[in-house]
Amino acid sequence: MKTFDRRARPSLAAFSIAATVFVLALGLGVHAEVIEQIIVKVNGEIFTKSDLEARQVAALRGMNREGDPTDAQLRQMLDEVTPELLVNVVDEMLILQRGKELGYRLSDDRFQAILKQIREENKIESEEQFQAALKQENMTLLDLRKQLERQMIVSQVQQNEVLGKVAVSDEEARRYYDGHKDEFTSPQTITLREIFVSVPGDGKTINVGLDEEAREKTAGIRERVQAGERFETLAAELSDSPSKANAGLIGPLSLTDLNADLRKLVESMKVGQVSEILRAPRGYQLLKLESMTSPETRSFEDAKTDISNKVFTDKRRAEFQKFIDRLRAEAIIEWKNQDVKKAYDQGVEQAKNTSAK
């Protein structure tokens, strides 16, 4: 069912993860002797050890690593996911609390409409099939309603508190375009043809006689090209490279992707020109510059939609950060476990570093 989280589907590996997370949670200072230990209170709303473990298990399942991880690997995976997970948990609680302040809720009529849509999209024709689908996802109807309501409230809060405050003017779009012309400029590209003549051997030692024969053969091919024979015909007949199947064609390639020596060579050539004999690791090579394009910059009008989307995304991210920072500053967040708080602080710092890039 499209609305459900597929990662919740159980497996032997998942049960192993769940059991191990319970043990490894001790590393975060979450002690097993208290069944419902409170991890944090956010404006009086609690988040418990069991809640944390459930989120950790879901996150680890979602990593989709092959095989059953060892305890050491699981501990490392927990260290990777837990900081960001805790930040998301606290932010979600704050956003949901804000939504409830604004009176947002999932009405019965809206819930029934969503259920109807889910059934139609998944071609579920009976209540028995629907209940079986819920069971397969480890969910009850109440679980589904809570999940949908959380999603709806978060979406509405972001629309009201963030998206509704973001707009992109033509002046902003033009300023971004002028300062980021490279983003709207296609790179210079080339297409080459090659003829490669290999030197027989193991690649470790050089047989002088065979090497000279290969060089002479390459020189002879170049003379035939200079005399008027078609490069692509000779490539298809005589080249030892896999590109012979395409008459020696290579590309198109971006000039920026070439190594410095090859780029210098190509930039000195004219379209249709054939290179001198080039030494390759396992033989000799001729290159023909088949075509070369010039860098092309899209006009502002042509790129305007992409520019607006880019600027809008950046402004939305900044506006959301201001919004969530304000909620955090106004909230009463009481950590009951200092090791978990350290992981949360680490996640906040990681998020700041990511947004600053």
How is the chain split into domains, by residue range? Answer: 6-166+316-356, 188-294
Chain segment 152-194, per-residue pLDDT in tens: 999 999 999 999 889 899 999 999 999 999 889 888 889 999 9
Q: What angle is formed at CA 243 by the lines to CA 241 and CA 248, rounded to 5 degrees?
A: 105
Helix (H) or strand (E) holding 145: helix 141-161
- Which tokens hold the place of 37? 């230990």
Q: Is 343 helix (H, G, I), strand (E, B) or coil?
A: helix
E strands, the chain, in order: 38-42, 45-48, 185-186, 189-198, 249-254, 278-280, 283-292, 296-297, 333-335
- In angstroms, the CA 273 to CA 153 distance is 65
Tens of pLDDT, residue by residue over 278-335, are: 998 889 999 999 999 888 899 999 999 999 999 999 999 999 999 999 999 999 999 9
Contact of 286 with 222, CB cutoff 8 Å: yes
Structure tokens at 333: 């967040």
pLDDT digits (tens, 9 = 90+) for 221-261: 999 999 999 999 999 999 999 998 999 999 888 888 888 88
Residue 71 has pLDDT above 60, yes or no: yes
CA distance 253 to 259: 12
In this structure, what DSSP letter does residue 154 have? H
What integer is the mean pLDDT of 135-144?
89
Interatomic CA distance for residues 28 and 105, integer angstroms: 35
Three-state SS at 279: strand
| Short-list 220, 213, 222, CA closest to 194 | 222
Rounded Cα distance between 90 and 105, Å, is: 20
**Pick from 103-112, 142-151, 238-247, 254-263: least confident:** 254-263
6-166+316-356 and 188-294 agree in CATH topology:
no
Q: At residue 39, does pLDDT exceed 80?
A: yes
Check: CATH 3.10.50.40 for 188-294?
yes
> Which structure tokens are listed for 39?
């991890």
Q: Are 53 and 86 in contact (CB under 8 A)?
A: no
Using an 8 Å Cβ cutoff, are 201 and 308 in contact? Answer: no
* 274 in Cβ contact with 231 (< 8 Å): yes
pLDDT band at 356 (very low <50, low <70, confident <90, very high): low
pLDDT score at 249? 93
Please count the other Cβ atoms lying within 10 Å of the Cβ belonging to residue 305: 10
pTM across the whole model: 0.63
Question: Within 10 A of 76 (CB to CB), how many other CB atoms are there?
Answer: 12
* Gyration radius from the chain CA atoms: 31
Task: Kindly state the tokens that stand for 221.
Answer: 């091919």
Q: What is the pLDDT of residue 224?
A: 93
What residue has token string 């899209």? 298
- Do 153 and 100 form a contact (C-beta atoms < 8 A)? yes
6-166+316-356 is classed CATH 1.10.4030.10: yes
Number of neighbours of residue 287 by Cβ within 10 angstroms: 22
How far CA 76 is from CA of 10, 54, 81, 249, in Å, comes to 22, 17, 9, 47
How far is the C-alpha of 177 from the C-alpha of 168, rounded, in Å? 13
| Of 286, 267, 265, nearest in space to 223 by CA | 286
